């Protein structure tokens, strides 16, 4: 196993442990070598996923639209903060490559009304 793969694996374990302890939303961080895209030496792709529940109205009104907007905003703000966190810990540069949000309505007699929100982001970093 190459030294870079050993480093990437060790880094993933550290980030997974720290991320799980720091976020109550069930975030998971995966670090992998950016071998599929052209990259410079010392660059790493970081992927982070988050799932959370936002209680509130799920109908067709303005309040439901505001809650869906707030749900997406939470994921976008997490993505922005992820680069800040990576710069503090291990990156000298960070670039957001992609972000995805998924919002699913939850309602019914046995469930609290609201939205299950999923988000994923992919970032490209240059190691310090």
More confident residue, 24 or 62: 62
**C-alpha–C-alpha distance, residues 74 and 116, integer Å:** 12
CA distances 92 to 7, 37, 42, 86, 95, Å, are 17, 19, 10, 8, 11
Angle at 18 between CA 38 and CA 9, to 5 degrees: 40
Average per-residue pLDDT for the chain: 79
Q: How much is the pLDDT for 126?
A: 95
Angle at 34 between CA 33 and CA 37, to 5 degrees: 160
pLDDT of 13 over the 50 cut: no
Q: Which domain holds residue 97?
A: 3-127
Q: Are 15 and 31 in contact (CB under 8 A)?
A: yes
- Mean per-residue pLDDT for 78-99? 95
Express each pLDDT in 66-75 by its tens digit.
999 999 999 9
pLDDT band at 91 (very low <50, low <70, confident <90, very high): very high
* pTM metric for this prediction: 0.65
Q: How much is the pLDDT for 98?
A: 97
Domain count, the chain: 1
Q: Are 125 and 44 in contact (CB under 8 A)?
A: yes
Q: How much is the pLDDT for 38?
A: 55
Express each pLDDT in 19-31 by its tens digit.
333 333 444 445 4
**Residue 60: helix, strand or coil by DSSP?**
coil
**C-alpha–C-alpha distance, residues 102 and 123, integer Å:** 18
pLDDT of 64 over the 80 cut: yes
């Amino acid at each position: 196993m190459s030294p870079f793969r050993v480093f990437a694996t060790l880094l993933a374990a550290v980030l997974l442990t720290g991320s799980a302890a720091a976020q109550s939303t069930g975030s998971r961080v995966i670090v992998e070598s950016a071998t599929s895209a052209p990259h410079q030496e010392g660059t790493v792709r970081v992927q982070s996923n988050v799932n959370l529940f936002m209680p509130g109205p799920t109908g067709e009104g303005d309040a439901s639209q505001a809650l869906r907007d707030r749900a997406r905003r939470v994921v976008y703000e997490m993505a922005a903060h992820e680069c800040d966190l990576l710069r503090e810990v291990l990156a000298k540069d960070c670039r957001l490559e992609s972000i995805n949000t998924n919002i699913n309505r939850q309602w019914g007699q046995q469930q609290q009304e609201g939205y299950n929100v999923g988000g994923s982001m992919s970032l490209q970093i240059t190691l310090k």
